[in-house]
Amino acid sequence: MKYIDEFRNPELTKKLIAKISGMVSDYKKDIKLMEVCGTHTVAISRAGLRKLFPPNLKLLSGPGCPVCVTPNNYLDRAIAYCRKNDVIVITFGDMMKVPGSTSSLEKEKSRGADIRVIYSPIDALKIANDNPKKKIIFLGVGFETTSPTIAATIKTAEAGNIKNFLVQSGHKVIPPAMETLLADKEVKVDGFICPGHVSTIIGSIPYEFIPKKYNIPCVIVGFEPLDVVEGVYMLVKQIVEGEKASVQVQYTRSVKREGNPKAVVLMGEVFERENSNWRGLGMISQSGLKIRKEFSAFDAVKNIEVKVEPTKENRQCICGEVLRGVKSPLQCKLFGKMCTPENPIGACMVSSEGTCAAYYKYGE
């Protein structure tokens, strides 16, 4: 299959890994590269790439899973909504098992709450039309990849005069989180493997402050094994050969420097930036998307009052440290014992893109 099989060529992958090994063999310190996309985390684990790179080349997983970085207070509010008799909560499936402070959407559904899983946000509008006496609350969780589709759904609801459709916005944007990681003295990153899906929307320009301000190289990378290895090669080349740090695009078949201008404009019409709380990273300035006042009729938080329980965190779970790249799942006492995909203690074990779930599934 064109653009797939070419990037799964094992011989080319092995040759490029050997070339990388030669480049770093005499390098005096470890090189730490962080992927900030959950799909990259899965791709790297599935292909066993961490084990193939030389010991002084480390691949760290960052806050690239939107479900994982969604904090408990967002989940607690969603759970409070689903306990109301006149509400139907709509969500993507990977949110169902994420533990809040004392419950989860899955547990609430088993107790009788009307919670429905959909594959496209536009499906929520049909549910709204079919249930005119109910308030339909869609849990808007995701990065720049999914935000345009939610924006389009809100505009469609406005055009169709669907007044019982609302969104609990938990959308986040990636570049501010990357800067927060660079400002964290505990986090040591020499280069970023930038997200391919997000970058198809925003392009490469939003990352340019990173090499300019921090002298840290960035490469936007695809998701097949050879994509990842070539992206690592491009980063290592900048680091080892002392090139001026820059933003490069390995994933040229999908990513343009300017991204998708129409999608960016659509996001800007419906959402505006706000400070946002990230699991493990805390409050990050201008890293979230809230619904603009022009579309406030579709904002669940502004239109439905609900009492939210005090937020609590499981102190045994190290999900926050995993999301910052300072620990791996293998350093968690719960991993693979008390915490499994069937019985997740932390959010990183729930989502298919979570670091803990990837380590568990692929036996890292």
* Residues 230, 13: Cα–Cα separation, whole Å: 8
pLDDT tens digits along 58-70: 999 999 999 999 9
In the sheet where 218-220 sits, what is the strand order?
A: 57-61, 31-35, 191-194, 218-220, 247-249
Q: What's the average model confidence in pLDDT over 131-143? A: 97
* Residues 223, 165: Cα–Cα separation, whole Å: 35
Q: What percent of the chain has pLDDT over 70?
A: 99
pLDDT tens digits along 258-316: 999 999 999 999 999 999 999 999 999 999 999 999 999 999 999 999 999 999 988 89
- Residues 164, 128: contact at Cβ < 8 Å? yes
Domains (range + CATH), the chain = 5-66+175-240 (3.40.50.11750), 69-173+259-303 (3.40.50.11740), 319-361 (no CATH)
Q: Is 112 exposed, middle or buried (0-12, 13-18, 19+ CB in 10 A)?
A: exposed
**What is the full DSSP assignment across 261-326?**
HHHHHHHHHHEEEEEEEETTTEEEEEEEEEE-GGGGGGBHHHH---PPPPP---TT--HHHHHTTS
Is the per-residue pLDDT at 7 higher than 90? no
